[in-house]
Amino acid sequence: MKKVITYGTYDLLHRGHINLLKRAKTIGDYLVVGLSSDEFNAVKHKKSFYSYEERKLVLEAVRYVDEVIPEHTWEQKARDIVDHDIDVFVMGDDWSGKFDHLKELCEVVYLPRTDGVSTTQIKASLRVSEDSNIEFSE
Ligand code: C2G
């Protein structure tokens, strides 16, 4: 069984996340997602809308995801790759080159990001609509 791992915050799940997870899963047979804890998000200077438990619940419902583990630190990836017997490490190419040191342990693949969507943009759009009292159609 070819095992793949990827990491992220996966807040306000959107098509960019799904595209990444879908492509990561097609690379192997089993996809592990290292989901950033709320505390690690603070280290990444990110504040997610949903808590770790809520983001985990949503992610586990995605057909491409086989297992979700917590991501607490930048450094845990090598240990995760060994402990989970991972064959391929995958990230979006906004991280291109950042994890090449893991090539000693497994294949490292950077996949093109999906243009035009991000959690940051979604949050900004929601703020604008709230400020201008635009009602979303039911
Ligand atoms: N992504 C994408 N296209 C987008 C947005 C995100 O392909 N439009 C990918 C990112 O490249 C990443 C994954 O979706 O591989 C998750 O993105 P985030 O939740 O933003 O994760 P990030 O903050 O990049 O955390 O240790 C690694 C970090 O935890 C990665």
Ligand 1 centroid to residue 88 C-alpha, Å: 16
User: Which two three-digit tokens encode residue 17?
Assistant: 């996340």
46 is catalytic: yes
- As beta bridge partners, residue 31 has 4
Write down the catalytic residue from 2, 3, 22, 46.
46
For residue range 67-116, what is the model confidence (pLDDT) as tens digits? Answer: 999 999 999 999 999 999 999 999 999 999 999 999 999 999 999 999 99
Ligand 1 centroid to residue 133 C-alpha, Å: 30
Is the confidence at residue 138, as pLDDT, over 70? no
Residue 71 in contact with ligand 1 by CB distance below 6 A: yes
Question: Do 70 and 38 form a contact (C-beta atoms < 8 A)?
Answer: no
pLDDT score recorded for residue 74: 97
Three-class secondary structure of residue 133 per DSSP: coil
d(CA 66, CA 72): 19
Q: What is the pTM of this model?
A: 0.94
d(CA 112, CA 109): 10
Listed residue (134, 90, 85) closest to 105, CA to CA: 85
d(CA 110, CA 94): 8
Ligand 1 centroid to residue 119 C-alpha, Å: 10
Percentage of residues in the chain with pLDDT exceeding 70? 96
Query: Given its phi and psi angles, is residue 129 left (phi above 0), alpha (psi -120 to 50 degrees) or beta?
Result: alpha
pLDDT score recorded for residue 52: 98
